[in-house]
Structure 1
Amino acid sequence: MANSKVLVARGSSWSPEFIQELLPSAQRTALLYHLSYLCLGGFPKLERLVREQALETQLLFGSSEAVLMKCVSTSSKLVSSLLPMLMKAVENNDPDLAVKYLEEARARIDDIIEAVDDMVKRYDEHNQNVATCTSDVVQEKLETEKEEQKYSKEIKSLLEAVAKLKEELRKMTKDENEIEKKIEDKNHELQNHIKDVSRRKRGFGILAALVPCFGALIKCLYDAATGPGDTAKTQSLNAELSRLSSEKSSLQNKKWSIQIKVTDLQLQLANSQLQLGVIPSHVHLKEVQRCLSRIQNILVNLGINFWKKVETLLDNLKEKTFVGEDLIEDLNDLKEEFLTSIEAAEQCWQRFGECCQKAKDIFRVQSRDAYQFLEIDPAKLSKDEWDEQHKSVMEKLIQINPLEMSIIITE
């Protein structure tokens, strides 16, 4: 049973999975900006544009920290004060006071929902600004490509190696999509299993309506299921979900390793052209374009996969917090049902606050420490200094392991 509960915790919608990719994404963003910045030493206009976007990202991360702090504070207030006082009012059969506390909770929740919605919009706007900057880099690249000369055999070999790795990435992306489909199917099967058990277990249907999160329902299913078939099937489905998630994380890690190899080969290409006397500007600008494009993808993921999930969780929490508010009108008969729903919501608010605290700490570190490279003028770096910084950035990129990050944050 202990092992089963571990699986439930990791598969639950209330596990920290909505923040597990936040740290590597934030780290990659700063490192990719740094790499772009190094490649623009000879392009003052583009250097200024990239600096502006990097500073905007830094400020956006700082604002993200502030909004998450607001989420943490609201969760703490609800768990430590408002919800307990609400339950006390219900226990004392005081519907007027209960309604007052519910309205105060509603106002606080609406306030953070509005703040999170604003963050989603800001990430979208910033992503568009980065896209504009990328277009400027592309235009500069097109102008310098007119001076390009024929590649040597060494350069052709590097290009072939890059093409081979990109083909591997395309195949891995296809495999990843297939795994994602399997995960969706398995989740659907698990939901149907829970519905089936709820129909057969007396009283479990009411409990399913009152417990506001999928993971908690699975736990209740373990506790309520007496037949070995029910428990075995639940364990089997959770085990399969855990295996598929691990397989997906492993594949993502392999994809990232190949992307690092591609980046390294592309920079070798730039260095080879420099040694051959070919103007390397367009190659460096290609690298800047790639970095900015990857930053765009990360910003989209942060806006959709992180802040959208936070927004969805808040909407769900709001709905579940007020799921039993109509019961206040008849406290004598429905008091216990209302108290049960509030107790369940209280647990979910506490978990949400803990997750937001972890996310807040990640944004705080990144917004304060990760952009110090902007204090250096890349045009004034010697070749040795440039090589040293480039090597350091690449090593840090290689060290980012999505699978390990997931395990660390989950634990």
Structure 2
Amino acid sequence: MADSKMAVTQWSPEFVQDLLPAAEKTALLYHLSYLCLAKFPSLERIIRSRAVETQLLFGSSDATLLKCILTSQNLVESLFPMLVKAVEKNKAVLAVQFLEKAKVWIQDIITHVEKIVEKYGTHSQDVASSASDVIKEKDDTDKKITVQDNELKQTEKTLNDLKSELKKTTEELAKTEKRINSKTQQIQEFAKSITKTSKGLGIFSALVPFIGLIVKSIYDAVHDPENVAQMKALEVELNILIADKTALKQKEWQIQLQLIDWQMKATKASFDLGSIPDPIHLKEVQSSLSKIHAILIQLKYFWESVAGALDYLKQKTFVGEDLIDDLTVLKCEFLQTIKKAEQAWSIFGAGCKKASVIFKLQTKDAYKFLEVNPSSLSKEEWEKEYESVKKQLENIDPPQCVTSSVTPAICQ
């Protein structure tokens, strides 16, 4: 997902909330890694160093999300009202000036997101390198162990089976996401063809870059039976894919929880043998960071698409000679579209606020476990803390594939 440009238009304004579970998981997985590498001081230091780096990175992420929140507010509270006034007074030149101002806001966000994406990419590689360091030291230590416990052998076999199942599920999820992106692009192209006959729909699709809302607006604005039937068929296909993705995400999460449980058993057995546990939790940290990295890349592409859509709106609606004469005719459609655009962007801003709160909490409280040396814990304290963290992981809700909740009303 991170290495290919996804569909330009997001299905729903809540997409940024996918950051929440990944951010929450990261600190908890660091905590488990820290516990599992107790009594190995050099490895504890590695975990502590990477965890502090992540904590600082989350602080930068919160700053980026704050920019998204403020820009969403500017669109709702400044740009849209100014566009309404410009349209009411038939001042196309003013509308163009307002859209140019919005492009400056959005370009600033794109620059910030690009920087944070680059930081996540570098940090994710560093975490992966740390996992390799742990594996190397584990291999060196294991060479000194001549007797392998039967319980550990069976546990490792179960872990390997679960890893294979998780790999298969993750690959299937990636394929489903590609199919969703492809289907979303198909719907987007169909919507573009429809906008040629509905100016109001064209304006709406430029102001609200969420494909789910555009689908709803097509049903309101288009009455040709053939087009409606085609749109319904595409929507049904996409909804099936979204349902598949949700099911796969649930399955992936359940397998991850099983892996955590069995890793605890393997950790206990390894401690008894004097072996270093496999750094599975540290690998999961890197996986969570990669997911955040991928979502932020989506955010970057999203804002780029918004900039392009606003520029298209400026050229085709307020500058193009073929449409400027129709501004009075379009007034009713435009003003109603602005109202729905405000709702959509308010939802997006609210999603960014939720993600921002999580990053603030992660920066402030989630890494306090680093203040305690895990090797100082008794066996009972260690098990109690491990179970507590695992319980918190189980209580994290995996991200849901949501549909849109705002129904556009295009003026007939």
Q: In structure 2, do the counterparts of structure 1 residues 140 and 240 end up closer, same or farther at CA, with 3 Å as the change threshold?
A: same
Which residue identity is paired with 2:311?
F
**Residue 208 of structure 1 contacts residue 217 of structure 1 at CA under 8 Å; is this kept in 2?**
no
Distance, in Å, in 2 between the alignment partners of 1:16 and 1:83 is 17
| 2:284 matches 1:297 | no
Distance, in Å, in 1 between the alignment partners of 2:302 and 2:90 is 31
Distance, in Å, in 2 between the alignment partners of 1:131 and 1:386 is 25
CA RMSD of aligned residues (A): 3.3
Structure 1 residue 179 displacement after superposition: 3.6
**Residue 320 of structure 1 contacts residue 345 of structure 1 at CA under 8 Å; is this kept in 2?**
no
| 2:312 matches 1:323 | yes
Structure 1 residue 55 displacement after superposition: 1.5
Which residue identity is paired with 1:368?
K
Percent of aligned positions that are identical: 38
DSSP 3-state at the match of 1:19: helix
Which residue identity is paired with 1:333?
D
Unaligned runs of 5+ in 1: 1-11
Q: In structure 2, do the counterparts of structure 1 residues 101 and 205 end up closer, same or farther at CA, with 3 Å as the change threshold?
A: closer
| 2:274 matches 1:279 | yes
Structure 1 residue 240 displacement after superposition: 3.6
Structure 1 residue 154 displacement after superposition: 2.7
Structure 1 residue 107 displacement after superposition: 2.2
2:325 is aligned to: 333
Distance, in Å, in 2 between the alignment partners of 1:332 and 1:409 is 32
Structure 1 residue 397 displacement after superposition: 2.1
- Select the structure that is richer in helix: 1
Residue among 386, 391, 394 paired with 1:395: 391
Structure 1 residue 25 displacement after superposition: 0.9
Structure 1 residue 373 displacement after superposition: 1.1
1:13 is aligned to: 10
Which 10-residue stretch deviates more, 46-55 or 354-363? 354-363
Could you give the per-residue CA deviations for residues 229-263 of structure 1, whole angstroms, max 9, x where no partner exists? Answer: 54455334323422332222222222222232233
Structure 1 residue 308 displacement after superposition: 1.1
Query: How many residues are aligned here?
Result: 388
1:120 is aligned to: 117
Which residue identity is paired with 2:371?
E
Distance, in Å, in 1 between the alignment partners of 2:188 and 2:403 is 28
**Residue 86 of structure 1 contacts residue 98 of structure 1 at CA under 8 Å; is this kept in 2?**
yes
Matches within 5 A, 1:343-354: 343=338, 349-354=345-350
Structure 1 residue 163 displacement after superposition: 2.9
Q: In structure 2, do the counterparts of structure 1 residues 309 and 240 end up closer, same or farther at CA, with 3 Å as the change threshold?
A: same
Q: TM-score, normalised by structure 2?
A: 0.81
**Residue 213 of structure 2 contacts residue 404 of structure 2 at CA under 8 Å; is this kept in 1?**
no
Which residue identity is paired with 2:274?
I
Which residue identity is paired with 1:48?
R
Matches within 5 A, 1:11-410: 13-94=10-91, 97-180=94-177, 182-184=179-181, 186-187=183-184, 190-191=187-188, 194=191, 203-204=197-198, 207-208=201-202, 211-212=205-206, 213=209, 214-227=211-224, 230-275=227-272, 278-280=273-275, 282=276, 284=277, 286=278, 289-304=279-294, 306-326=295-315, 327-328=318-319, 333-336=325-328, 340=334, 343=338, 349-402=345-398
Distance, in Å, in 2 between the alignment partners of 1:389 and 1:348 is 42
Which residue identity is paired with 1:112?
I
**Residue 89 of structure 1 contacts residue 95 of structure 1 at CA under 8 Å; is this kept in 2?**
yes
Distance, in Å, in 2 between the alignment partners of 1:133 and 1:87 is 54
Structure 1 residue 72 displacement after superposition: 1.1
Flag as ranges the 4+ runs of structure 1 deviating above 6 A: 407-411
